[in-house]
Amino acid sequence: MSVEIPENMEEVAMQLAQHKVRGELVDETTVIQNAIRDILQAFFDEALEGHYDDVKWDGDDLVITDIMGDEAGRIQPQSSSFVNDFKNDADSLIERLENATTKIVGGR
């Protein structure tokens, strides 16, 4: 994973501090949501050996679209939101995202 993508709440706090130093107004939820999307995007880019699929938010779900723009997969949070999943157990969420990537890529 990239150093720029927070993988736990400590790294989220560090990234929030960096934004503050730069004078950027960003809240914790936005940083976490961006991190979750970026983590999943990195898993897909690695699995497909390039950027062929896009990961986007659709409400509380993460939707993966293929190069043709068709939905290739959808991942839902275990709790009320991915932000809560991340806050409660980021390692478990990251593992779940990695497993979902393997399942979606392997199902084609």
> Which tens digits make up the pLDDT trace of 17-37?
999 999 999 999 999 999 999
The single-letter code of the amino acid at 50 is G
- C-beta of residue 5 within 8 angstroms of C-beta of residue 28: no
The distance from CA 31 to its chain's CA centroid, rounded to whole angstroms, is: 10
Instruction: Find, among 58, 57, 55, 53, the residue nearest to 68 by Cα.
Output: 53
User: What pTM does this model have?
Assistant: 0.94
pLDDT tens for each residue of 72-82:
999 999 999 99
Domain boundaries, the chain: 9-107
